[in-house]
Structure 1
Amino acid sequence: MKSTYQYPETKKVAHTDEYFGTKVEDPYRWLEDDRADDTKDWVQREVGFTQNYLAQIPFREDIRSQLKDIWNYEKISAPFEEGDYTYFYKNDGLQAQSVLYRKDKAGNTEVFLDPNQFSEKGTTSLSGLSFNKKGNLVAYSISEGGSDWNKIIIMDAVSKKIFDEPIVCKFSSVAWYKDEGFYYSKYDQPKEGSILSGMTDTHKVYFHKLGTKQSEDQLIIGGESFKRRYMTAGISDDERFLILDAAVNTSGNELYIKDLTKNSEFIPIQKGYDYNTNVVDTKGDEIYVFTDKNAPNMKLQKFNINNPSVWTDVIPETDNVLSVSTGGGYIFAKYMKDAVSFVKQFDYNGKLIREITLPGKGTAGGFGGKEKDKELYYTFTNYITPGTTYKLNVANGKSDVYLKPKVKFNPENYVSEQVFFTSKDGTKVPMMISYKKGLKLNGKNPTILYGYGGFNISVTPSFSVVNAIWMENGGIYAVPNLRGGGEYGKKWHDAGTKQQKKNVFEDFIAAGEYLQKNGYTSPKFMALSGRSNGGLLVGATMTMRPDLAKVAFPGVGVLDMLRYNKFTAGAGWAYDYGTAEDSKEMFEYLKSYSPVHNVKKGVCYPSTMVITSDHDDRVVPAHSFKFGAELQEKQSCNQPVLIRIETNAGHGAGRSTDQVIGENTDILSFALYEMGIKELKK
């Protein structure tokens, strides 16, 4: 049965590339030009088609009102002190963006920054905030429409008076040096192509002196003589050292340190890109570094700046993956065992003080602060526990609830269980499965299988009001910890990269088969979901195994694996993916799973909603446009292919509450509708 949908017409323009003697057709190359009138016209027609299709779903507005209802609770962050004020973020419930408040010593509270005033529709967000050491100066970054290009605004934190012009940058931190100014990173704005899709591959570090123009900023390092794709400058807490991380990919970095008291040159601490090493803290001449050098599960070491080649262990590597933070004069070691947290407190000599008692099995985050702090804050969450903030007394290790959100959700009514399944090559992979109590394992439960599997990123248990509504409507939410992630350290990450990338897809397929074999669900009631690298996961899985699931949501995905490295910062992902230019073998491997190149005529693909945004300058929308066009042209059955294009939004960060609710309304209602659900359970 052929598709009967009248999709918007997508023209084909002959274009051929050649890789190692193999010709590859690219008839939708024209869709890569996001500024062209014919692309804009196509986008508008696709938006119209998608909205018309979704409008016919009878319970779509019910889902929207359920989401709005559960979303509408007060959200308050942990407090932090800067200068004479205590700051915290608060969202009343449905505000587009959270507001930054502050309280003075007398207890008077005022609004400090309200991002909802930055733009009419709440699509300009606060993307960064950095105070100088005294807390009397602040630099905050704003992102317009979700773009990775940011503007840094400089302000007197006491009077709230703005001075100097905004500083334009991308992928930048702000590192204040006394009251003089700050270090930041930027690329030259692309001359060829649009600012959203042009290549950005030479990062430079500048110093902005207060009271001057950006055009007068001093270049510290970067450019043709020191060409690196990513550079981050940091300042040690005592303002003695300028610390430089430099990298060409998203994995592996060089480390350089400059002693500002001596005005010395940068001292190379780690050259080459074989390891990930970051400075955690400094104490006089001692530099504390967090590294995977000869430690795939990470360790904390230290060295003396006068003898930087001799490193000694502070917290040695263990069988569990480590991350660290500092605060209150202590080091907090956050370990992950099968994607679940446990935390230990150490002194700076590596002596164990205590293990922190956590409220349950889940994800603990935070434990950071200033050295003088007597209390630190952390959050605890899992798939059925809304994120709760705790206050920790660093002297005695006692935790108290600081803020418990008033979400309309009762964890007692839900189950979240961890299972282990076996992938195609025999690898054991963990998965969390969450659902409402009383669920029958009859193979008929709507199920979202969500995955990521890349870039050493760990997917750990966390609560989401969207998943709460999904489970409330009888759904199962399942999350496997796929290879390519960081859940079991560097070896786990590397097992899902380059010519082992298909391990990730095989893990995802095995997760789906486990759920089906064990009666949780069946192909007719399963949806695949993932964003970014997870969008690639969904695109590759649905083209490899179109029979695995009924519905697919490739979100802001990397879908053209032969050309991903031609746009914005895409070339930096080569550690995970390899590129089509590397070798004939790498080209053939990428082409064998690249979603855009593996859509075939005569195949029935799942009902699909390709999700992207017009301002995504991380994974350009061309990936989604081309994949959607291929699917619409070749779909052989009557399962729809929608391309949902969010306007005035980027890769995901900084979207307004309304945009997030809108997207999730469409995801949940489309999934249920395509699974044949006619009405919601009362």
Structure 2
Amino acid sequence: MRLLILSLLVLTGSLIMSCQSEKIDPPIAERIAHRDTMFNDVRVDYYYWLRDRNNPKVIEYLKAENAYTEAMMAHTKSLQEKLYREMVGRIKETDLSVPVKKGDYFYYTRTEKGLQYPIHCRKKGSLEAEEEVILDENELARGHKYFNLGVFEVSPNHRFLAFSVDTTGSETYTIYIKDLKTGRLFEEKIENTYYTLAWANDNQTFFYTVLDAAKRPFKLFRHQLGRDAKEDVLVHHETDDKFFITVRRSKSGKFIFLNLSSQVTSEERFLKADQPLKPFKVFQPRQYKVEYSLAHQGDYFYILTNQDAINFKLMRTPLNKIKPAYWQEVIAHDPQVMLEQVEAFKDYLVVLLRDNGLKRIRVSDMKNNEIHFIEFEEPLYTVYLTGNAEYNSRTLRFNYQSLITPSSIYDYNLQTRERILKKKKEVLGGYDPANYQMERIWATAKDGVKVPISLVYKKGLKKDGTNPALLYGYGSYGISRDPYFSSNIFSLVDRGFVYAIGHIRGGGDLGRRWYEDGKLLKKKNTFTDFIACAEHLINEGYTSEDKLSIAGGSAGGLLMGAVTNMRPELFKAVIAHVPFVDVLNTMLDPTLPLTVIEYDEWGNPNEEKYYWYIKSYSPYDNVRAQNYPNMLVTAGLNDPRVSYWEPAKWVAKLRATKTDDNLLLLKTNMGAGHSGASGRYDYLKEVAFDYAFLIDRILDGK
């Protein structure tokens, strides 16, 4: 690669005000070309210079774009405030989570009105005991524009707390240790760490991971309390750039598991938690495209694996006989049912699975081998296992919700099968689920495949094409976009919007095959599925082309870029959050955090077949002279997942190329990363801004 400076057309980051017309013009980026030659293909990237955040002109340009965005949205300030107050008005600002029992303690978080972050507390012995505040995130966040808590792990004896913080949004964390008996912090702190940490049973030792220059967790260290972190022992160094390291403690407390995983391959290693100085033992050496994970129960390891089972199967083997020859089948592979998660209690085995797009819970009584399923009444819902910290327990806790049913925490007696509602999230402001209708419909994709769409709207909706709509999509990494509850969305629904989720290929909504059919050389299925969803909503009268908006973030932002290049006339407005739109350039740069590990997701463009396929859909490379919808694009200056320059370059190229006068906005958070604002009130202000953009563009601000 070589840099060829062609020309400097305009000054970077200028906002031009014409006194005669009072017209505000958008910033125009410099055109300094970067020429790239590969496979007899010459690409000229005029906005490559935006990658250099140390160049003052880059920061000037981003700030100018922000100023332009603020100017163009100034007339919606009152609407933004109204939306923000609506959303705040639906939440119980001073609230309490359902306590989770761990040993003699009950752990919970609470929020207080006016405070951005949770307060972590516990009580000993009973819920009537005196509250002990163990960590106040608001105190830690003081003086920082951004704050995020990473690991939060209490030692097995409940004496020490290891926690980590990120104050930039770069997802690089610093670990601190707090003595919960005295309240003091240990002198040592450990920098440049990742999300995972596991305590050994001696209550003096824990394991953690650190990041390389590309922000990949590549080393596992062992730390002992009271010692300088410089003395920490390197336990494992992962030299294969495709693999990330994570570490966790088994629910039983008997083992520590070291997971080494790429996009399609994994390897587990294990260590007895009461022998932290011994080396980890490999359970099963990595095999390309074989994924597995471990759980421990009694005398067995349980293995959730996709070996010869695309939707995964469950096996088990004695602790002292771990070779595959000894493995026994517990749940056979089912091509229609995806096994997603295993929770191993002392006497029960719980498996979360996905059947026809909906989650189900399978319970096995290990004493009498009885099997039953936990059933749910609504035809459209999602469920998560949560707060199951106790190994010797007969209670399973899960979170149930749907598009109209708020988050509901249940305790389920695994023996009696009694279900107790512990807490349903209160939705204030007069919310009544009886006022809304949800349903699942199916669009027909380009190749005849049926694609599910989840919908929610006000009852009495007329399918006459006059309704505004917001269609959301993601469709990557096998991640499912389940129909969970969000009180925020009702600020749109109450204004007549149909809210829709397209469960497109590339996600895991209908099992692993659904994912495999939307990646690598089949990636375009993701985009054509989404277009089919949009067309179906229009054809069935839910909305129309001049009332349909779409939204997606990260890989879902790639989706937004691809479909607006392909079918811009279908959409009135687009929101693309931190969009992965410069796909070809990013995947050609192995120094970036996720590039190498994601060769198995997008393909390695150093191979010719992947180069040309990625180039054929990469949104940045396929911007062309045509009309585009109204677009709001966001970025995070410190984003380690999708670098800020991807949305910045994309917007610059769109400005120079598109043929319409529709609004194009770039909004960069100069002090955050991939997830945007960290405080709960600041987050709601961002949502209010997004919704104001949609309402302004589609409903003329009403």
Partner SS for 1:48: helix
Q: CA deviation at 1:470?
A: 1.2
Distance 1:415 1:304 in 2: 50
**Deviations for 1:297-332, whole angstroms, at most 9, x for unmatched residues?**
222211234332232122223322222223463221
Distance 1:329 1:95 in 2: 42
Partner SS for 1:625: helix
Contact 1:300 1:313 in 2 (8 A): yes
Mapping of residues 568-607 of structure 1, within 5 Å:
568-581=593-606, 583-601=607-625, 603-607=626-630
Distance 1:653 1:86 in 2: 32
Q: CA deviation at 1:75?
A: 4.4
Contact 2:337 2:355 in 1 (8 A): yes
Pair 1:398–1:35, CA change in 2 (3 A): farther
Match in the other structure for 1:112 = 134
Q: CA deviation at 1:263?
A: 3.6
Match in the other structure for 1:194 = none
Distance 2:95 2:40 in 1: 57
Pair 1:242–1:109, CA change in 2 (3 A): closer
Q: Which among 25, 44, 49 is matched to residue 30 of structure 1?
A: 49
Q: Is 328-337 or 136-145 further displaced after alignment?
A: 328-337
Mapping of residues 465-504 of structure 1, within 5 Å:
465-504=487-526
Match in the other structure for 1:193 = none
Match in the other structure for 1:629 = 652
Distance 2:87 2:440 in 1: 26
Distance 1:128 1:107 in 2: 26
Letter in 2 for 1:15: H
Distance 2:99 2:377 in 1: 21
Whether 2:290 is the aligned partner of 1:275: answer yes
Which one has more relative contact order, counting CA pairs under 8 Å at least 6 apart? 1
Partner SS for 1:505: helix
Q: CA deviation at 1:210?
A: 1.2
Match in the other structure for 2:85 = 65
Pair 1:317–1:91, CA change in 2 (3 A): farther
Whether 2:61 is the aligned partner of 1:42: answer yes
Whether 2:233 is the aligned partner of 1:210: answer no
Q: CA deviation at 1:56?
A: 1.3
Q: Which among 267, 277, 286 is matched to residue 254 of structure 1?
A: 267
Q: CA deviation at 1:101?
A: 1.8
Match in the other structure for 1:54 = 73
Whether 2:485 is the aligned partner of 1:463: answer yes
Letter in 2 for 1:181: T
Aligned length: 662
Partner SS for 1:562: helix
Match in the other structure for 2:191 = 168
Match in the other structure for 2:422 = 402
Q: CA deviation at 1:377?
A: 2.0
Distance 2:570 2:497 in 1: 18
Contact 2:196 2:246 in 1 (8 A): yes
Q: CA deviation at 1:436?
A: 0.7
Partner SS for 1:234: strand
Partner SS for 1:547: helix
Partner SS for 2:446: coil
Q: CA deviation at 1:141?
A: 1.9
Q: CA deviation at 1:234?
A: 3.0
Contact 1:31 1:622 in 2 (8 A): yes
Pair 1:74–1:403, CA change in 2 (3 A): farther
**Deviations for 1:136-161, whole angstroms, at most 9, x for unmatched residues?**
22211212133211111112233332
Distance 2:167 2:665 in 1: 26
Q: CA deviation at 1:174?
A: 0.6
Distance 2:356 2:492 in 1: 25
**Deviations for 1:496-522, whole angstroms, at most 9, x for unmatched residues?**
111100000000000000000000111
Distance 1:572 1:557 in 2: 19
Whether 2:322 is the aligned partner of 1:302: answer no
Q: Which among 243, 250, 274 is matched to residue 257 of structure 2?
A: 243
Letter in 2 for 1:36: N
Q: Which among 21, 37, 53 is matched to residue 18 of structure 1?
A: 37
Distance 1:348 1:290 in 2: 17
Pair 1:587–1:528, CA change in 2 (3 A): same
Contact 1:455 1:576 in 2 (8 A): yes
Q: CA deviation at 1:662?
A: 1.7
Q: Which among 340, 343, 346 is matched to residue 364 of structure 2?
A: 346
Pair 1:360–1:202, CA change in 2 (3 A): closer
Match in the other structure for 1:320 = 337
Letter in 2 for 1:257: F
Q: Which among 113, 116, 140 is matched to residue 96 of structure 1?
A: 116
Distance 2:436 2:472 in 1: 18
Q: Which among 229, 238, 248 is matched to residue 243 of structure 2?
A: 229
Letter in 2 for 1:315: I
Letter in 2 for 1:473: R
Q: CA deviation at 1:232?
A: 1.6
Contact 1:96 1:122 in 2 (8 A): no
Contact 2:477 2:506 in 1 (8 A): yes
Pair 1:202–1:227, CA change in 2 (3 A): farther
Q: CA deviation at 1:124?
A: 1.1
- Structure 2, unmatched stretches of 5+, are 1-22
Match in the other structure for 2:18 = none
Distance 2:676 2:255 in 1: 31
Letter in 2 for 1:280: A
Whether 2:639 is the aligned partner of 1:619: answer no
Pair 1:356–1:201, CA change in 2 (3 A): closer
Contact 1:315 1:350 in 2 (8 A): no
**Deviations for 1:529-585, whole angstroms, at most 9, x for unmatched residues?**
11111111111111111111011111111111112233222322221111321x222
Partner SS for 1:173: strand
Match in the other structure for 2:474 = 452
- Structure 1, unmatched stretches of 5+, are 191-198
Contact 2:651 2:664 in 1 (8 A): yes
Q: CA deviation at 1:342?
A: 2.0
Q: Which among 360, 364, 367 is matched to residue 378 of structure 2?
A: 360
Match in the other structure for 1:126 = 149
Contact 2:101 2:389 in 1 (8 A): no
Contact 1:164 1:210 in 2 (8 A): no
Match in the other structure for 1:159 = 182
Q: Is 70-79 or 434-443 further displaced after alignment?
A: 70-79
Distance 1:545 1:128 in 2: 43
Whether 2:538 is the aligned partner of 1:516: answer yes
Distance 1:578 1:480 in 2: 24
Distance 2:333 2:163 in 1: 36
Letter in 1 for 2:353: Y
**Deviations for 1:464-498, whole angstroms, at most 9, x for unmatched residues?**
12212111111111001111111222211111111
**Deviations for 1:400-425, whole angstroms, at most 9, x for unmatched residues?**
11112220321110011001111001
**Deviations for 1:149-194, whole angstroms, at most 9, x for unmatched residues?**
1111112233332114221234331111122211111123x3xxxx
